[in-house]
C-alpha cells in the first residue's frame, strides 16, 4: 500500500510539473498539453461532474464574454486580439484541470476535507517547482548538463537563448525570466507556510526554500527579491514563535538566529557562483553603481508606465495587449496591459474576481489564510511589472487553485469499490 501511495503521489507530481511548466520538447510536443490530455483520460468518469459544475460553467461563459469583448474592441481599433484570445481560451482548461486534479487527489487522501485537499495541492506544486529548481542549479553548475537538457527543449520561443547564455537557466520550463522567478518565489512561501504549520519539518522547509532562492539567482531578479523577502518573513516568524515559548523552542529559536548570522560568512566562500550571474542578480543592491533598488529592468519598466491619454480608451480599452498598436507604445506592466486590452472597469473586474475566488478558498480554514494571502499580495504587487495572475506558470497555479475550489463545491461520488479515485487512474497506477 505504501509503495502504491508513493507511486500515485509521484504520478500526480509529474502531472502537475508538466501542467505548470509546460515543457516544450524539440520534437514539437508540449508536455503541458499532454498532461491535460492524460488527466482527461484518467479522470474521464469525473468529466460529467465537471460539466455539471455551476462554477465551471459560469467561469467558462465569463471568459468567453471577455474574449468576445476583446475581439470587438480590437477590431474597432485595428489591433491584434490573438494574444488575449490565446491566454483566455486556456483559462477554462486550467480550471477544468484543477477540478479533475482535485477529484483524483481527494480519492488518495485519508482526510478528504477541503482544507487538507488545498494543502496537498500546494505540497505537490511545491515539490514540482523544487524539482525544476534543482534542474536549474544543475544547469548552472554543469554546462554539459545544460547543453544536454537544452537539446531536448524547443529553442527560439523566448527572448533569451538559454542554450548559449552564460548563466541564465530555465530547467525544463518552457521559458525562464520573471515568470519562472515569481513561480519559484511563490513556492518559497508555500514551503515557509507548510513549515510554520508543521506540515514540513524545519529541515525540509529550509532546504526547499534555500534551493528555490538560490535557483532564482540564475532565473530572474523579480522573483529573487520576492523569495528573499519570503524567506526572511519565515525566519522572523519562527524567531517570534520560538522566543514566545519556553524551554526547547526558545533555545531552538536562539540557535536559528546564531546560525543565520554565523553560517553565511563561513559557507558562502566555498560555494562557486558565477560572478557575472551574481552581479546581474544583485544589481538592485547597487552592484552596478546605479544605487540601491536600481537595475536595467527597473529603468525599462519606468518607461512603460503610462495610462491611456483618452478617457474613452481608459474606459473601453483599445484591444491592445502585446505586439504593436496604432494608438500606444507597448508596455510590460500587467495592469496596464489589461487596461489597454479591456479598459479600466473590465480589467478591475477581472482582478477583483480572481481575488474573490482565492478569498473564498481562504475562508474554508484559517490556516489557508497563512498559505494563500501572502501569495495573492505578492502577485498583485508583481503585476505592476508583468502579467502574472492569469498568464504563464503563476497564472496556471492561480487557476489550478480556483479549479480545485470548484471541485470542493461538488459532492464527491463514491464508487462501488468504496474509493474516491476514478477507476481509470487506479488502472494507470497498477
pLDDT tens profile 105-156 = 987 877 778 889 999 999 999 999 999 999 999 998 888 999 999 999 988 7
User: Under a CB-based contact definition with an 8 Å cutoff, are residues 184 and 212 in contact?
Assistant: yes
Question: In sequence order, which residues have a C-beta less than 8 Å from that of residue 249 and are 6 or more positions away?
Answer: 241, 242
- Over residues 197-217, the mean pLDDT reads 90
**What three-state secondary structure class fits 165?**
coil
User: Under a CB-based contact definition with an 8 Å cutoff, are residues 360 and 376 in contact?
Assistant: no
pLDDT tens profile 391-408 = 899 999 999 999 999 998
pLDDT tens profile 63-85 = 999 999 999 999 999 999 999 99
User: Under a CB-based contact definition with an 8 Å cutoff, are residues 395 and 180 in contact?
Assistant: no
User: Under a CB-based contact definition with an 8 Å cutoff, are residues 80 and 74 in contact?
Assistant: yes
pLDDT tens profile 407-419 = 987 765 533 333 3
To the nearest 10 degrees (0 to 180), the angle between helices 54-77 and 392-408 is 140
Amino acid at each position: 500500500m505504501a509503495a502504491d501511495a508513493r507511486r500515485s503521489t509521484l504520478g500526480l507530481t509529474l502531472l502537475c510539473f508538466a501542467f505548470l511548466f509546460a515543457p516544450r520538447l524539440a520534437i514539437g510536443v508540449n508536455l503541458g498539453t499532454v498532461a491535460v490530455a492524460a488527466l482527461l483520460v484518467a479522470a474521464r468518469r469525473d468529466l460529467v461532474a465537471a460539466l455539471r459544475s455551476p462554477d465551471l460553467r459560469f467561469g467558462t461563459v465569463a471568459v468567453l464574454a471577455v474574449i468576445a469583448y476583446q475581439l470587438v474592441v480590437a477590431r474597432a481599433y485595428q489591433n491584434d486580439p490573438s494574444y488575449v484570445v490565446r491566454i483566455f481560451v486556456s483559462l477554462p482548461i486550467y480550471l477544468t484541470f484543477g477540478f479533475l486534479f482535485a477529484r483524483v487527489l481527494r480519492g488518495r487522501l485519508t482526510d478528504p476535507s477541503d482544507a487538507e485537499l488545498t494543502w496537498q495541492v500546494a505540497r505537490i506544486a511545491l515539490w514540482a517547482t523544487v524539482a525544476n529548481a534543482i534542474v536549474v542549479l544543475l544547469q548552472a553548475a554543469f554546462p554539459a548538463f545544460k547543453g544536454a537538457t537544452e537539446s531536448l527543449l524547443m529553442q527560439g520561443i523566448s527572448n533569451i537563448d538559454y542554450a548559449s547564455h552564460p548563466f541564465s537557466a530555465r530547467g525544463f520550463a518552457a521559458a525562464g525570466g520573471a515568470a519562472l522567478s515569481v513561480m519559484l518565489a511563490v513556492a518559497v512561501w508555500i514551503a515557509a507556510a507548510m513549515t510554520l504549520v508543521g506540515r514540513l519539518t524545519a529541515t525540509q522547509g529550509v532546504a526547499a526554500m534555500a534551493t528555490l532562492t538560490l535557483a532564482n539567482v540564475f532565473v530572474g531578479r523579480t522573483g529573487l527579491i520576492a523569495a528573499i523577502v519570503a524567506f526572511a518573513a519565515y525566519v522572523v516568524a519562527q524567531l517570534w514563535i520560538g522566543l514566545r515559548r519556553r524551554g526547547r523552542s526558545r533555545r531552538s529559536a536562539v540557535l536559528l538566529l546564531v546560525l543565520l548570522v554565523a553560517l553565511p560568512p563561513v559557507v558562502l566562500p566555498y560555494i562557486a557562483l558565477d560572478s557575472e550571474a551574481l552581479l546581474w542578480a544583485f544589481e538592485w543592491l547597487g552592484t552596478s553603481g546605479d544605487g540601491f533598488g536600481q537595475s536595467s529592468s527597473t529603468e525599462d519598466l519606468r518607461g512603460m508606465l503610462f495610462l491611456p491619454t483618452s478617457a474613452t480608451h481608459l474606459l473601453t480599452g483599445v484591444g491592445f495587449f502585446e505586439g504593436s498598436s496604432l494608438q500606444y507604445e507597448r508596455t510590460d506592466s500587467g495592469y496596464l496591459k489589461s487596461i489597454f486590452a479591456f479598459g479600466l472597469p473590465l480589467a478591475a473586474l477581472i482582478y477583483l474576481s480572481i481575488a474573490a475566488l482565492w478569498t473564498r478558498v481562504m475562508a474554508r480554514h484559517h490556516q489557508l489564510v497563512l498559505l494563500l494571502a501572502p501569495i495573492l499580495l505578492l502577485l498583485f504587487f508583481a503585476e505592476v511589472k508583468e502579467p502574472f495572475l492569469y498568464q504563464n506558470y503563476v497564472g496556471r497555479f492561480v487557476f489550478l487553485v480556483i479549479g480545485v475550489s470548484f471541485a470542493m463545491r461538488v459532492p464527491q461520488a463514491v464508487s462501488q469499490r468504496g474509493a474516491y479515485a476514478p477507476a481509470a487512474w487506479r488502472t494507470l497506477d497498477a
